[in-house]
Amino acid sequence: MADEPMLVHNVYFSLKDNSAEAKKKMVDACKKFLTKHPGEVFFATGTLAEELHRPVNDRDFEIGLHVVFKNKAAHDEYQDSARHKQFIEENRDNWKKVRVFDSVVDKQ
């Protein structure tokens, strides 16, 4: 549907090994496995902005993943994809905590 809301999928990973090498490995894995899925509108991943220390900044993560899907169906397809499952399998041993924030947004 043309007016169907997009789904924004934000994931924040806290790592057991949070060395520079481990952070780079995680960002590289996100880029390898989680990009270019059908229905993806936007993809970005990276590390915590160390220089931002405002009282409202949540700093309990090392890696942020941000994917916008054209609709919920595209998100659901992504969740069940072999590449997404492989990403989880290959990286979860270094996850201390994972927080997922999904929201539906209107197109402007």
The Cα 26–Cα 24 span in angstroms is 5
pLDDT for 1 beyond 60: no
pLDDT for 98 beyond 60: yes
Domain count, the chain: 1
**Pick from 67, 80, 72: which is nearest to 36 by CA?**
67
**CATH for 41:** 3.30.70.100
* Confidence band of 49 (pLDDT split at 50, 70, 90): very high
The answer to whether residues 74 and 40 touch, using CB atoms and an 8 Å cutoff, is yes
Q: Which residue do the tokens 């919920």 mark? A: 72
Kindly state whether residue 1 falls inside one of the protein's structural domains. Answer: no
3-state DSSP call for residue 97?
strand
Q: Given this model, what pLDDT does residue 2 score?
A: 60
The Cα 69–Cα 59 span in angstroms is 26
Mean pLDDT of the chain: 96
Domain that holds residue 55: 6-105
pLDDT for 11 beyond 70: yes
Kindly state whether residue 11 falls inside one of the protein's structural domains. Answer: yes
Q: Given this model, what pLDDT does residue 107 score?
A: 76
